[in-house]
Amino acid sequence: MSHFKRLSIVLLACLASACASLNTTPSPPAPSAGKGMVAAANPLAVEAGVKVLARGGSAVDAAVAVQAVLGLVEPQSSGLGGGAFMTYYDAKTRKVTAYNGRETAPAAATPALFLDEATGKPLPFPVAVLSGRSTGVPGAIAMLSLAQSQHGKLAWNTLFGDAEKLADQGFSVSPRLAYMIQGRFPQTSAPDVVAYFTKPDGARYVAGDTLKNPAYAASVRKIAAEGPKAILQGPIAEAIVARLHQGDRPSAMTLADLAAYKPKAGPATCRTFRVYLVCTPPAPSGGPALLEGLAILEHTDVAAHPNDVQGWYLFAQASRLMYADRDRYMGDPDFVDVPTAGLLDPAYAASRAALINPDMAGPAPVPGKPKGAGVRAPDATLEPGGTSHMVIVDAEGNAVSMTTTVESIFGNGRMVGGFFLNNQLTDFSFSPTEKDGVAAANAVAGGKRPRSSMAPAVVLDKDRRFVAAVGSPGGSAILAYNLKALVALLDWKLPIDQAIALPNLIARGDVYASEPAKFPPGVVEGLEAKGVKLSKGGGEDSGLHGIVMTPTGLVGAADPRREGVAKAP
């Protein structure tokens, strides 16, 4: 395993160990009142979405409102300056559409973007993330605008009222945001972060303090009036370019890069799992990798081992195979050939599952050779935590599963118009080639979208009726978090709150990062006897949200590891 991958897991574990105590009581299932439901990472954002649903708004309308508030009250995770992937289910047509709001690299970006000019070696992550080079053209608002134009019921300019009011009048700093403000991350020492989160008396904001952001209020007013061009053109765009051109290693981003941004929409990538159909966005999202993980597990008897030693063992070994393939082959399909069909071919999944020794874990698995796979170099991408997820179902049964991000904590630490700019380009491989010169699938290129682990999922039954929607933030661990939730929900038949609260286990290469204290008695010891030694320390910081359809209506839940809630109008 590369230095970058090890560091990614360490960062996730360190972040989680400090944050796990913020919210340790699982949120009880939220009953549906027949008008839909919102599950998201902050109660203020959920309330904004619920108000939209109560006004007769669609799931996408509510998503716009939720994102606008999340960018204010949870700026460490997502915002107006970030990107997103959305999986949308239309209850009338029973079609699933994938929306791609992933950021793009400036046209002038090269594969050497994150190489030290003097040594030719990859830059240290803290240096790269704080540079202007780390920021991609933001796409979340443009993506939401596209989806809302197709599936919205309310006027766009009516969806930002809560965000504007909270920014103008102030909101209460949450414990999680307070921890990030006080935390030891590269961005917390960035000048814009220090200025924003420092009170007049020189102290940093703490939980319970009221924080106002009039610049953010002005930005959302402008977005409400003008749509995404408010960010991609005009004064805010000019400010973005100017801010990214400051300091060492400035960005090559231009106003033309911003103006040229286009979100994407198309059919979701869907595959059967047992009696279900699971749908995610295609590459460069993590969706195909998640589907491969499910496909591998379908060739095991994991369903017969709910939350026991063998069940977690099979989960871990399938995860290792999933990550090995994903790390080698996934990238932006507009620039590299991604062998999605080969990776998801049932025969290939069976061949990968056959590599699992049922009794004892072996060395780290190597990537397979699915049909359509070219020669690719080992990857060197670092994906630290950050990001947020929301699930929304409206009164008509339409559903949104959306993962949204500015990448790391407070993005690259630079602020424009009251919001933080992303550091999404650090999701590219820092090393564009291997020693033999073979190109990495996730190497930097102008106009390219970096590979993502975000994999918002929608689950349907055999008649394409809504069953569930789930998703999580968490860097590269997103795939393991989502896979766990889906296995627990669909195979182990657990209620959504219990499925989300189960221990996390991120098995990648030779590392088994986990939450040992949360497993049932005997599981940790049983896994170790099978060669799976779980890492000690704090819990991994997932932020799963989910909504399921039950015989009595919708039920939603939020991850007890964060501050989210699920609520019906």
CA gap 114, 110 in Å, rounded? 9
User: What residues contact residue 560 under an 8 Å CB cut-off, 6+ apart?
Assistant: 23, 24, 25, 26, 27, 500, 501
User: What residues contact residue 451 under an 8 Å CB cut-off, 6+ apart?
Assistant: 283, 284, 330, 331, 332, 381, 427, 428, 441, 442
Query: Which of 256, 293, 332 has the alpha carbon at shortest distance from 85?
Result: 332
The H or E element containing residue 271 is: strand 269-273
CA gap 522, 532 in Å, rounded? 13
The H or E element containing residue 37 is: strand 36-40
Residue 247 burial (10 A CB sphere; 0-12, 13-18, 19+): middle
- Say whether 387 is catalytic: yes
Kindly report the backbone phi and psi dihedral angles of residue 45, in degrees, each rounded to the nearest multiple of 5, phi listed first: -70, -40
Q: CA 441, 443, 445, 451 torsion: positive or negative? A: positive
Size (the chain), residues: 569
**CA angle at 542 for the pair 541 and 548, rounded to the nearest 5°:** 160
Residue 397 burial (10 A CB sphere; 0-12, 13-18, 19+): middle
CB distance 352 to 367 below 8 Å: no
Q: CA 351, 353, 354, 355 torsion: positive or negative? A: positive
Buried residues in 226-243 as b, exposed as e (16+ CB within 10 A) = bbbbbbbeeebbeebbeb
**What 3-state DSSP class applies to 100?**
strand
Residue 66 burial (10 A CB sphere; 0-12, 13-18, 19+): buried
Q: What is the DSSP string of 182-244?
A: HS--GGGGSHHHHHHTB-TTSPBP-TT-EE--HHHHHHHHHHHHHTTHHHHSSHHHHHHHHHH
CA gap 204, 1 in Å, rounded? 38
**What 3-state DSSP class applies to 403?**
strand
Which is catalytic among the residues 280, 340, 387, 404?
387
Per the rule left: phi > 0, alpha: psi between -120 and 50, beta: everything else, 313 is alpha
CA gap 484, 514 in Å, rounded? 12
SS3 for 68-82, per residue?
A: HHHHHHCCCCCCCCC
**Positions marked catalytic:** 387
